[in-house]
Amino acid sequence: MNKLLKKICNKKFRYLIYPLFLIIFSYLIIIISAEKIETSLIFPWWDKEENIQLSAPFDYENVDISLSQKEHISWIFIDNKSEKTIFYFQGNGWNLNYYYDDIQILKDFGYNVMALNYPWFWWSSLSPNRKNTQKYVEIFYSFIKKEKKIDNSDITIFAYSIGSWIALNFSKSHTVDKIILVAPLSSLFEMSVKEYGFILQKYLFLSERFNNKENIKYLKSPLLIIHWDKDPLIPLKQGKWIYENAPKETSYFLEIKNIGHNLVLQKYKNITKWFLKIFLEKWKFEKKYYSIDENTKIPEIEKEKVIDPLEKIKKLDFISDFSLTKYVWIWTSFKKIDYIPDTLTRIRGNYIKDIKWWQMLRKEALVALDEMGKDFYTKFWVKIAVVSGYRSYLHQMQIKANACPDTLCSKPWYSEHQSGLAIDLWETTTEKEFLSKKELNSYFLWLKENAHLYWFHNSYQNGVEIDGYEKEPWHWRYIEKDLATYLYEKKISFSQFYKKINTKESKY
């Protein structure tokens, strides 16, 4: 029987078996090389480009770091002696030095400018795949933040083309002041459909990892998108898709007519620079969407009114149970005794350690905590240890049943932990015990100066007389950005602030 089968195969099907084997073998090779193929989609000329260094029309500091014999990171920093810095993410066609004209315009606004050469480009090493690019951006940012003492709140991102994906991915874990996206792509799947008519990545078993339409939903910063109607590489509709998914209140779109993909800041330079200047200086546009061409005159704008920070904060919602600024105290409870936050999620993160393995926190607080944990880890090489997160009414009742005093443990229904926004860090029971430990004291001092950047606040910092509880250097509450900043600047607690705005006494 075997001989007969072999004979048939040899005679009738041999001409099919060999090509079929060759096709299957070739497909397996392609799948194995999927990461490199995807890299070629993102940076199509990366392995053909000559790394030519052009002279810059401005002075800059060039920094090169060797991670190993084979790994090098290269970037530039322009020091304009400003408190504000623009983080520039280039496109994918050329080295960073081909974007010097754009960088010059941004420099002329008076800002510092920092820009990274992606992997392989210029003196940076390795191929510019997704993993290497993300890694280099994080290393660069950590180094420059430490060396130049730059805070997230002082950074504006300017991202061009494929740089928009890198920038939005970065902004998911680092909340910056503002973001400008120029000719952004909506997703790599969409680009694949445009180029090939189908989603090539699915045949390579690659998931969608460059999805700006999804990433933009998590944006907390004001956004300006600039795109042009005749873009042959990234169609205008992709920029519009991103805009449609972005937070509406703080997002703006500038469509430029009769221009292709490159040199957006060079053509119609005056009006484009005007829009950038207005956005950078936090002025308010009359409209959300603008369309301009060579005949467009600079439009009228309404300068944003200067609002007293206290007056703005006083309008926040301190009553609703779900509000980030819900006020809870020894005599102020939640409205619903069985309130449970809708967005509770397990405490997990790259830079967070859940001591008990089952605790929960509201999603927005967890994202901010992991972001804070990343910078904390950079400083101390230790993860933030969470010993307590969300507590239900019943959970708090069990704690009180163990005879925990009112000055240390809230009554059920009156605990900030029920909001899903409060955390206790590291296992201690008294302020003296906490601060007597050298490492915990250093952690607290860092949090005291930096936690507000991630919207966290130390609720109980003044003792029973003022805050209703003993001092708790381990207890931190996620609140609204402006309130966190205000409390930090005024060096007051949430309780002090709330009592003050609800009395006829003088304001802070």
User: Tens of pLDDT along 12-63?
Assistant: 555 666 666 666 655 565 555 556 656 556 555 545 445 555 567 778 887 7
Write out the residue range of the structural domain in which residue 112 sits. Answer: 41-49+61-292
Q: Same domain for 371 and 462?
A: yes
Q: Same domain for 424 and 329?
A: yes
Question: What pLDDT shows up at residue 101?
Answer: 80
Name the domain count of the chain: 3
Residue pointed to by tokens 């009112």: 406
- The model's pTM is 0.58
What is the three-class DSSP state of 364?
helix
Q: Does residue 239 lie within any of the structural domains? A: yes
Question: What pLDDT shows up at residue 508?
Answer: 45
Q: Same domain for 167 and 133?
A: yes
Measured distance CA(270)–CA(280) in Å, rounded: 15
Helix (H) or strand (E) holding 265: none
Question: What pLDDT shows up at residue 7?
Answer: 54
- Predicted confidence (pLDDT) per residue in 64-76, tens digit: 777 776 777 777 8
Q: Does residue 54 lie within any of the structural domains? A: no
Question: What pLDDT shows up at residue 267?
Answer: 63
Q: Does residue 254 lie within any of the structural domains? A: yes
Q: Does residue 223 lie within any of the structural domains? A: yes
Where the chain has pLDDT below 70, the residues are 1-55, 69, 92-95, 97, 118-130, 195-196, 198-209, 259-269, 282-284, 298-309, 503-508
SS (H, E, C) 202-229: HHCCCCCCCEHHHHHHHCCCCEEEEEEC
What is the three-class DSSP state of 153?
helix
403-406: Cβ within 8 A, 24+ apart: 406/330
Question: What pLDDT shows up at residue 304?
Answer: 45
Q: Same domain for 7 and 124?
A: no
Q: Same domain for 74 and 214?
A: yes
